[in-house]
Amino acid sequence: MQDFPRALKIVTVWLLLGTLVFLGVQAVEHRRTQPEFHALDGTLTLRRSSDGHFHWPAVLQGPDGRLEVEFLIDTGATRSALSAAHARRLGLPEGQVLRTATANGEARGHLSRVDLALTGGLRIDRLEVVVLQGLGDQPLLGMDVLSRLRLVQDGSRLQIQPR
């Protein structure tokens, strides 16, 4: 059997090297976008994500099951908010209908309650949340939860302690 032509060998080697570099860059980017947590002596430290925001993973529990989500920490939000899709998946009951002002304008929604367990040990049962139609997949962690904590931002790090 005849060997591969020299040019085909060179192209194959370059394609393999290119694939390895591509996969390496993808792995670094994936790691960079994941929330980073450190817990030490009751202090939780979050690292700012590549989108410029702080994210906090959590588990939501409703009548129809549990859902793992990643909250966007939103100090401008009075209440924590979930999408209507998340509320449906959890089987959350619809409470009082309301209109609220958001960064994207006025939104319609309703109140509901959910059990919240944030990574790092903070748990709030029956937290009243706003369920919004157009929120998308990123729930918001508002001041109703954040005001219970001591927050200290130092550049790209956010230190969180219970009050």
Domain boundaries, the chain: 1-33, 37-162
Nearest-angstrom CA–CA distance, 88 and 29:
32
pLDDT by residue for the chain (163 residues), tens only, comes to 466 788 888 888 899 999 999 988 888 776 665 556 667 777 889 998 888 899 999 999 999 999 999 999 999 999 999 999 999 999 999 989 888 777 777 778 999 999 999 988 889 999 999 999 878 888 999 999 999 999 999 988 999 988 7
Contacts of 88 (CB under 8 A, 6+ apart): none
pTM: predicted TM-score of the whole model, two decimal places: 0.75
CATH of the domain spanning 37-162? 2.40.70.10
